[in-house]
Amino acid sequence: MNSRPSEITLKPIGFVRNGITEKSTRRNWDDVISEIVIRPELSQALDNLDEFSHIIVLFWTLRDKHQQLAYKVHPKGSPDLPLVGLLATRSPDRPNPIAKTTVELHERRENILKVKGLDAFEGTLVIDIKPYLPGYDSVEKAKTPGWAKERPANP
């Protein structure tokens, strides 16, 4: 409490390899297979992770550090949706641009994780990997507003 730091420094633990760049027109990530390449010295820390079917990936989405953040945004950039608080959305452009996605873990080989459904471009920095624990990470009866309703994935 006394010495609350004003800055925190992270060191990425790895990066994403999937060949999908920001120039790609693909925007449905559900079936995308990516590799997460973890720093080799952390390889041992990945042991047993493949006993889980799903993992949580925290990654860094900063694209333009000179960009001024808007605190009110249209969810998903859609002008049809109301203007809402930035932190009430999952916009990647946020005060600390960290995204959290739960993905299927297909395989772990040494320091490489093969996952399905990670919505991150080639080269994205990964800052943490966690096992997905249903009893801790999911909520049975969560309420969300109409404007945040997820639509079915595109065919």
Binding site for its own copies (CB under 8 A): 1, 4-13, 15, 42, 44-49, 51-54, 56, 58, 60, 62, 71-72, 82, 84-90, 94-96, 98, 100-102, 122-123, 125, 127-139, 141-145, 148, 150
- Residue 101 CB, shortest distance to its own copies, in Å, is 8
Whichever of 25 and 96 has its CB closer to its own copies, that residue is: 96
- Strand ranges (DSSP E) for 39-147? 54-60, 72-73, 84-85, 98-109, 112-116, 125-131
Residue pair 54/101 in contact by the 8 Å Cβ criterion: no
Least distance from its own copies to the Cβ atom of residue 80, Å: 16
What φ, ψ does residue 129 adopt, rounded to 5°? Answer: -130, 130
* Pair 113, 107: CB distance under 8 Å: yes
CB of 25 to its own copies, least distance (A): 19
